[in-house]
């Protein structure tokens, strides 16, 4: 068995787990902007819970992709080129979503905000779905030829597994976000999020279980089956804890669920990184898709230092912004104060002239 | 257009677009960090206002760089899978390290800076910005290491037909990267300098135009006040300081780009002689630098090109540092390239319908020749304008001329143009290679790759076209939105980024330092900062 490729397979699984755990709730909060929030104040509460952290969370995706490129170039090349159109949709979604977070509050108009709210909600949905589908397909199979290129047209990758993975991540993100909001907000939003969570969580995890079990039937091992069972326990626990009003622990339990889920999925798929549905001989594995030991060794050293550091300072961020956000904290949308109003002219002769302020 | 051409257009558009946001992010980030540091040390209100105002514009732009940067990382695998397979062992590492060591730092600490005005101590808050800015510099370093390896592959051996990293130190200290990194950073600072200069000029002009500031008998400016939030005497200081900082930054960075660019050029004459010959449209060996060449630059041979004005010796100086060494022209290089790398593309299915075609070793000379001149021209114009601006405003007065003001504002575009032209030149000048051969590496196993072999074999032209159209449309829409927001906040002045100035005005003495204190708003809430 090759040690370094195995380490990097685990590392990439860890990066994806970190991504789903962290960006999971901010993708979910994004979708809840349209599904859950009832008015602009609610939406601003939602945004402020993820405001300081969503960008850092998204870097987990970039790092997972970059690490795949560096450690398993053939995995990266085959997965990304085969899923060209769905990943294009993910990119478009992530672009709109990111810009929307920043630009939404920059113009004080209901129409403007509404458009960007849709960009956030749809962007979050498409990104969650696309990434879920891509992860499901890399663990269940793609039509690859011996060079690792797609056989068939632009949609040849499509399968039921793509739907399971897509809806699996979307639904998980939604309940994960509800648990997060229950933990991070106060007042009406907090209690409503908790109620929704208790009601939805038993159903929301079903597609993810579908994906987990599908991978187990393809290539499961006893220990990965055990992880599926652990995931069941984690969900039951999360549900009971939320019902008992223990929001932090409920969030933690759901976090344990996603860790068990990805561990069982990647563990079952190991050592194959993309099974070929054309011919098992074309499977990409950790041995035939990986970089040289020199490159992997170098990356291992850097990651051994870098990743704990990332976890440390990201945790610090969460600690800095640990306080609950509530509607009472949200100030009136401060009117935009133009120093220079487009149409108002002042006589040049009066040095200290005054003029009335004009809004946009 | 076939798949290869579409994929190249898509990559080019994405990259040039991304690199409109990036230099402003890097340059402005650094400038804002310096300004906030001055505020931290002096406590002067104008520096807090500058931090908030330029910080606001920085963030509006930053997010666009983030959003388009993700495309950059994905498209190697999506559209260029053969390239990714070929170079992954050495090229993937800097990309992964960029994410792990730079992006995480940048995004996390910027989040802390945006939201932490109240939660964090002033020093810690300032440190967060510095850490984020240093992160962005590291990210530039890693990405240029990756790019430099495509320009000048080092530190590898060929194993089973693929380059495999054997010497990480060589890759990460590639001399191509070591000169390209400062060149790029100075280029980014030039963008920030012109940005500050143009916008500050506009505001100073506007204050005079609105009758707030008047010129006294001694030709000096007498700042006034208007009963509008943020348009007090401090406001004048904000813009005058910004203007001077911008002008100085623009001039320093032009000098920096010139020095590093010269080093880079000398390296490139050795490493990619064809690129430099094409930059000069230099067909024949010689020493002269073309000031103006006419003829059919787009032709694949040199026969039609006539150098109308040529300064003898200068080309040799650019290449070698003396005035007499003959520099090889396109015609003699062409023979060498054909001999070393073949006359026709291999008959391999990876080349698609281009398999077996004749190789065009001369880059599109219209692009290299004019790209090179636009880069230098735009950079020089911006620096000259900055010098002029400093002289004209030496008494603290911006001329009343509307046209000069417009010139200053449109001058913001010049360094953007220089940056874009530089990248287009260096990337298109590398063609037909995606990984240019390193002439120092001997033997048959030279590490190079033709662009024609790099595109994803499994992806159809239709998919590539879809992404070209979709992404270009998104970029166009978002560019309009970004510029509109920037204009809105620029016109809004400091108060647009500091709503607390409105409250300050109600309660008395505008010179009281506390009015410009760090507090975002008076609700006494420390859960939210100024975003969202």
CA neighbours closer than 13 Å in the CB half-sphere of residue B153: 30
Question: A289 is written with which tokens?
Answer: 């898709």
**Confidence bin at B161 (pLDDT 50/70/90):** confident
Give whole-number Cα distances, B438 to A250, B94, B123, B341, in Å.
58, 19, 47, 12
Sign of CA dihedral B401, B405, B411, B413: negative
For residue B344, give the DSSP letter.
Answer: B
Residues of A within 8 A of B88 (CB-CB) are 69-70, 72-74, 76-77, 291
A304 in contact with B, Cβ within 8 Å: no
- Per the DSSP assignment, residues forming a β-bridge with A144 are A150
A287 in contact with B, Cβ within 8 Å: no
Q: At what angle do helices B413-428 and B175-209 cross, to 10 degrees?
A: 160
Residue B309 has pLDDT above 80, yes or no: no
Task: List alpha helices for B173-322, DSSP H.
Answer: 175-209, 233-271, 273-280, 314-320
Query: Rounded to whole angstroms, how far apart are CA atoms B404 and B107?
Result: 38
Residues of B within 8 A of A302 (CB-CB) are 97, 100-101
- Considering only CA atoms, which of A5, A298, A149 is closest in space to residue B156? A298
Question: Would you call A78 helix, strand, or coil by DSSP?
Answer: helix
Residue B307 has pLDDT above 80, yes or no: no
- Residue B6: exposure state from Cβ atoms within 10 A (0-12, 13-18, ≥19): buried
Mean pLDDT of B12-36: 95
- Considering only CA atoms, which of B404, B400, B401 is closest in space to residue B389? B404
pLDDT at B527: 39
Query: Rounded to whole angstroms, how far apart are CA atoms B323 and A25?
Result: 64
3-state SS of B303-336 is CCCEEEEEECCHHHHHHHCCCCCCECCHHHHHHH
Query: Rounded to whole angstroms, how far apart are CA atoms B213 and B211?
Result: 6
**Confidence bin at B229 (pLDDT 50/70/90):** confident
**Which residue of chain B comes nearest to A148, CA vs CA?**
B458
Sign of CA dihedral A310, A316, A322, A327: negative
Q: How many percent of chain A have pLDDT more than 70?
A: 92
- Choose the weakest-confidence range: A211-225, A229-243, B263-277: B263-277
* Ramachandran area for residue B256 (φ above 0: left; ψ -120 to 50: alpha; else beta): alpha
Query: Rounded to whole angstroms, how far apart are CA atoms A13 and A203?
Result: 25
Cross-chain residue pair B525–A331, CB shorter than 8 Å: yes
What is the pLDDT of chain B when averaged over all its residues?
A: 86
Residues of A within 8 A of B159 (CB-CB) are 292
Cross-chain residue pair B89–A73, CB shorter than 8 Å: yes
Cross-chain residue pair B531–A105, CB shorter than 8 Å: yes
pLDDT at B224: 85
Evaluate whether B368 touches B305 at the Cβ level (below 8 Å).
no
Give whole-number Cα distances, B285 to B279, B316, B368, B395, B438, in Å.
14, 10, 18, 52, 21
Residue A350 has pLDDT above 70, yes or no: no
Mean pLDDT of A1-7: 87
User: pTM to 2 decimals?
Assistant: 0.90
Cross-chain residue pair B107–A56, CB shorter than 8 Å: yes
* Residue from A77, A273, A312, A353 to probe the interface with B (highest B Cβ count within 10 Å): A77
pLDDT at B303: 63
pLDDT at B227: 78
A156 in contact with B, Cβ within 8 Å: no
Mean pLDDT of A66-70: 95
Mean pLDDT of B154-179: 91
Residue B366 has pLDDT above 50, yes or no: yes
For residue B44, give the DSSP letter.
Answer: -
* b (16+ CB within 10 A) / e for A39-50: eebbbbbbbbbb
Higher-pLDDT residue of B514 and A10 is A10
**Confidence bin at B145 (pLDDT 50/70/90):** very high
Of B101, B474, B527, the CB nearest to A323: B527
Residue B518 has pLDDT above 80, yes or no: no
**Confidence bin at B301 (pLDDT 50/70/90):** low
Question: Would you call A126 helix, strand, or coil by DSSP?
Answer: helix
Indicate if ipTM > 0.85: yes
Higher-pLDDT residue of A114 and B227 is A114
| β-pair type (B162-165, B156-159) | antiparallel
């Amino acid at each position: 068995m090759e040690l370094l490729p195995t380490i990097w397979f685990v590392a990439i699984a860890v990066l994806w787990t970190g991504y789903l755990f962290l960006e999971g709730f901010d993708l979910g909060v994004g979708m809840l902007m349209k599904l859950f929030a009832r008015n602009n104040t609610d939406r601003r509460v939602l945004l402020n819970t993820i405001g300081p952290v969503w960008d850092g969370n998204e870097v987990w995706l970039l790092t997972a992709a970059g690490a795949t490129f560096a450690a398993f170039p053939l995995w990266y090349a085959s997965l990304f080129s085969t899923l060209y159109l769905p990943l294009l949709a993910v990119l478009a979604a992530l672009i709109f979503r990111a810009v929307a977070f920043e630009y939404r509050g920059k113009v004080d108009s209901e129409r403007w905000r509404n458009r960007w709210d849709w960009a956030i909600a749809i962007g979050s949905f498409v990104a969650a779905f696309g990434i879920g589908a891509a992860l499901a397909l890399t663990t269940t199979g793609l039509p690859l030829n011996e060079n690792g290129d797609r056989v068939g047209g632009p949609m040849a990758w499509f399968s039921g597994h793509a739907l399971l993975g897509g809806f699996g991540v979307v639904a998980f993100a939604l309940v994960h976000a509800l648990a997060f909001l229950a933990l991070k907000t106060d007042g009406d939003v907090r209690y409503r999020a908790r109620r929704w969570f208790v009601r939805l969580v038993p159903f929301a995890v079903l597609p993810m279980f579908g994906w987990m079990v599908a991978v187990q039937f393809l290539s499961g091992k006893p220990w990965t089956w055990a992880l599926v069972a652990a995931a069941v326990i984690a969900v039951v626990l999360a549900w009971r804890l939320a019902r008992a009003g223990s929001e932090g622990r409920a969030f933690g339990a759901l976090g344990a669920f996603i860790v068990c889920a990805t561990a069982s999925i990647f563990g079952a798929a190991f050592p194959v990184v993309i099974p070929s549905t054309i011919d098992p001989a074309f499977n990409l594995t950790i041995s035939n898709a990986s970089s040289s030991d020199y490159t992997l060794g170098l990356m291992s050293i850097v990651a051994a230092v870098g990743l704990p550091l990332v976890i440390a300072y990201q945790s610090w961020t969460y600690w800095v912004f640990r306080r609950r956000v509530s509607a009472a904290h949200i100030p009136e949308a401060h009117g935009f104060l133009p120093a220079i109003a487009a149409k108002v002219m002042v006589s040049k002769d009066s040095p200290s002239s005054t003029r009335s302020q004009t809004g946009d | 257009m076939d798949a290869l051409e579409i994929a190249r257009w898509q990559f080019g558009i994405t990259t040039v677009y991304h690199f409109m946001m990036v230099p402003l992010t890097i340059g402005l980030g650094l400038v804002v960090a310096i300004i906030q540091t001055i505020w931290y040390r002096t406590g002067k209100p104008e520096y807090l206002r500058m931090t908030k105002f330029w910080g606001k514009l920085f963030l509006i732009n930053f997010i666009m760089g983030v959003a388009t940067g993700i495309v950059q990382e994905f498209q190697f695998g999506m559209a260029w899978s053969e390239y990714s397979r070929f170079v992954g062992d050495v090229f993937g590492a800097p990309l992964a390290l960029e994410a792990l060591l730079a992006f995480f730092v940048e995004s996390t600490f910027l989040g802390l800076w945006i939201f932490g005005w109240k939660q964090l101590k002033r020093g810690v808050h300032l440190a967060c910005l510095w850490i984020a800015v240093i992160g962005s510099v590291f990210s530039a370093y890693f990405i240029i290491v990756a790019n430099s390896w495509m320009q000048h592959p080092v530190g590898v051996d060929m194993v089973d037909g693929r380059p495999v990293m054997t010497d990480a130190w060589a890759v990460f200290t590639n001399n191509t990267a070591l000169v390209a990194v400062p060149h790029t950073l100075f280029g980014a600072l030039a963008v920030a300098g012109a940005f500050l200069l143009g916008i500050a000029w506009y505001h100073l002009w506007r204050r005079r135009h609105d009758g707030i500031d008047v010129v006294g008998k001694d030709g000096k400016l007498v700042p006034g006040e208007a009963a509008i939030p943020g348009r007090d005497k401090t406001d004048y200081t904000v813009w005058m300081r910004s203007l001077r900082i911008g002008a100085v930054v623009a001039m320093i960075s032009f000098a920096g780009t010139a020095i590093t660019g010269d080093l880079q050029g000398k390296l490139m004459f050795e490493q990619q002689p064809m690129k430099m010959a094409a930059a000069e449209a230099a067909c024949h060996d010689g020493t002269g630098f073309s000031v103006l060449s006419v003829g059919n630059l787009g032709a694949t041979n040199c026969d039609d090109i006539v150098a109308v004005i040529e300064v003898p010796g200068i080309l040799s100086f650019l290449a070698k540092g003396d005035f007499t060494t003959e520099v090889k022209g396109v015609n003699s290089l062409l023979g060498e390239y054909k001999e070393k790398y073949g006359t026709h593309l291999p008959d391999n299915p990876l080349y698609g319908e281009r398999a077996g075609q004749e190789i065009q070793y001369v880059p599109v000379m219209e692009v290299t020749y004019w790209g090179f001149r636009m880069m230098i021209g735009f950079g020089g114009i911006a620096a000259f304008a900055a010098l002029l601006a400093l002289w004209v405003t030496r008494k603290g007065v911006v001329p009343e001329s509307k046209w000069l003001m417009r010139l200053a504002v449109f001058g913001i575009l010049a360094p953007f143009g220089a940056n874009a032209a530089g990248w287009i030149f260096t990337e298109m000048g590398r063609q037909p290679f995606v990984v240019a051969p390193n002439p120092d590496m001997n033997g048959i196993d030279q590490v190079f790759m033709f662009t024609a072999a790099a595109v994803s074999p499994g992806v159809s032209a239709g998919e590539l076209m879809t992404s070209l159209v979709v992404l270009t449309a998104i970029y166009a829409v978002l560019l309009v939105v970004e510029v509109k927001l920037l204009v809105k906040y620029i016109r809004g002045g400091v108060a647009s980024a500091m709503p607390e100035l409105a409250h300050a005005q109600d309660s008395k003495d505008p010179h009281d330092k506390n009015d410009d204190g760090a507090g975002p708003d008076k609700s006494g809430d420390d859960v939210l900062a100024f975003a969202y």
